[in-house]
Amino acid sequence: MLFSTEPKDSVKDLFDREKESAELRDKLKERMILVLGMRRIGKTSLVLSTLNSTDRNFVYVDVRKIYDEASRKVQAEKLYEELYFSLTKLSRKERVRDLLTKLNISLESPLKAKLPLDEIKGNIIKIFEQLNRIGKVVVAFDEAQYLRYSTVGLRSVLAHVYDHMKEVSLLFTGSEVGLLYDFVGVEDPESELYGRYFASVEIRPFEREKSREFLRAGFKEIGEKVEESVIERAVGEIDGVVGWLVYFGKLYPEKGVDALDEVKSLGSKMVKKELEGLFIRSPYYLDILKAIATMGRTRWKNVVNYVIVKNEKKVPNATISRDLKALMMTGFVEKIGEEYVIPDPIVKYTILQEY
């Protein structure tokens, strides 16, 4: 079902993306793979569908699920637990059961509460060692930029895995591309993973014609007759991001033409929550986003002017530059040539409407 709102887990449900899927399949032979793209563009879907389409063993950990908003941490126990339970879903379960018995943990038993951090780290390493023994395996961390909040110092574990466990491939997805690079630290001499080779697959928004085709195909699948003008209006406002198109398709049979407003209001609620977490970190993020949302493709000079006028005082260029870089790290802003843009139409809408 194209309009189902859960991530797709089978290539037969994936619209388009043959190229990306083939690319990912090919890159699974590498030891470290990054899957990059903005929120709701289809990273989880691509990863799960592609991995399910090969006969390769894989383990999937949704890092966002275990990230605790209140403490802003990924607790070691949670990570361990998640990794551990994901083993139970491995296709060669019997084999894993054997291996885990050697670890003195049965597959069914709940984890013992409160282990010391060192022991948790040790156990995580043991899990990787056991995985390495069953042959080629992919360990996928979804929204892996959150791993930088992990209390267990995971990066050194991953570097150890990279260097010594040749059967294991590490796959990371990230909406916050810059933050994921930061976590992996392949360009940071201080990082344990510095200089390691990694492959990457980038997922771009659908071109406008693809967005139209997606909606047509989805409506056809559910037997809903929809005017071209409706499709045209929808792609005009929520172009390219498949997650938003899915919401529209899902809501249309019930809400008719109001579905578009529904998507925008529902979407801006979600986006608002994501932005709020950001805005506490700098007073200028909102002004910068507002400048770009208002002006469309915006040059550096115009961003600076906007921020100064808005604040009625001189804001140092270095501050604005730092904040703009940080916004690009989160993926809310993109630089095309010399101009800054907000690639997600609903993010743009939210900034214009809600602030």
Question: Which residues make up the interface to ligand ADP (CB under 6 A)?
Answer: 2, 4-8, 14-17, 37, 39-45, 242-243, 246
**Binding at 171: pick from Mg ion, ligand ADP, none (beta carbon under 5-8 Å per type):** none
Stretch that binds Mg ion, among 12-20, 42-50, 92-100, 184-192 (CB under 5 A): 42-50
To ligand ADP, the closest distance from the beta carbon of 2 in angstroms equals 5
Q: Does position 150 bind Mg ion by CB under 5 A?
A: no
Residues making up the chain, counted from first to last: 355
**Binding at 81: pick from Mg ion, ligand ADP, none (beta carbon under 5-8 Å per type):** none
To ligand ADP, the closest distance from the beta carbon of 241 in angstroms equals 8
**Binding at 41: pick from ligand ADP, Mg ion, none (beta carbon under 5-8 Å per type):** ligand ADP
Q: Does position 44 bind Mg ion by CB under 5 A?
A: yes
Give the tokens for residue 327.
Answer: 């916004």
Q: Is the CB of residue 351 less than 8 Å from the CB of residue 287? A: no
To ligand ADP, the closest distance from the beta carbon of 270 in angstroms equals 11
- Measured from the CB atom, the residue of 4 and 317 that comes closer to Mg ion is 4
Give the tokens for residue 5.
Answer: 């709102």
Residue/partner pairs of 223-226 with CB below 8 Å, 24 or more apart: 224/252, 224/253, 226/252
Q: Which stretch of DSSP H or E encloses residue 22? A: helix 18-27
- Measured from the CB atom, the residue of 172 and 349 that comes closer to Mg ion is 172
- Measured from the CB atom, the residue of 9 and 30 that comes closer to Mg ion is 9
List C-alpha distances in Å: 159 to 124, 153, 156, 186, 247: 13, 11, 5, 11, 39
Q: Which residue is nearest to ligand ADP (CB)?
A: 42
Distance of CA 173 to the CA centre of its chain: 5
Q: How far apart are CA 294 and CA 11, in angstroms?
A: 38
Q: How far apart are CA 99 and CA 126, in angstroms?
A: 10
| Residues in Cβ contact with 14 at an 8 Å cutoff, skipping those fewer than 6 apart | 8, 21, 42, 45, 46, 49
- Measured from the CB atom, the residue of 54 and 311 that comes closer to ligand ADP is 54
- Measured from the CB atom, the residue of 219 and 244 that comes closer to Mg ion is 244
Reference 161, options 130, 200, 120; nearest CA is 130
To ligand ADP, the closest distance from the beta carbon of 206 in angstroms equals 9
To Mg ion, the closest distance from the beta carbon of 20 in angstroms equals 14
To ligand ADP, the closest distance from the beta carbon of 124 in angstroms equals 24
- Measured from the CB atom, the residue of 42 and 345 that comes closer to ligand ADP is 42
To ligand ADP, the closest distance from the beta carbon of 348 in angstroms equals 18
- Measured from the CB atom, the residue of 10 and 319 that comes closer to ligand ADP is 10
List C-alpha distances in Å: 286 to 52, 307, 311, 333, 335: 40, 9, 11, 12, 17
Q: Is 260 helix (H, G, I), strand (E, B) or coil?
A: helix
To Mg ion, the closest distance from the beta carbon of 7 in angstroms equals 6
Number of chain positions touching Mg ion (CB under 5 A) = 1
Distance of CA 25 to the CA centre of its chain: 18
Stretch that binds Mg ion, among 40-48, 74-82, 122-130, 279-287 (CB under 5 A): 40-48
Site residues for Mg ion, 195-214, by CB under 5 A, read none
Q: Is the CB of residue 62 less than 8 Å from the CB of residue 142? A: yes
- Measured from the CB atom, the residue of 17 and 78 that comes closer to ligand ADP is 17
Q: Is the CB of residue 292 less than 8 Å from the CB of residue 298? A: yes
**Binding at 139: pick from Mg ion, ligand ADP, none (beta carbon under 5-8 Å per type):** none
Q: Helices (H), strands (E): how many in the chain?
A: 16, 10
- Measured from the CB atom, the residue of 210 and 348 that comes closer to ligand ADP is 210
**Binding at 221: pick from ligand ADP, Mg ion, none (beta carbon under 5-8 Å per type):** none
Give contact residues for Mg ion (rule: CB under 5 A): 44
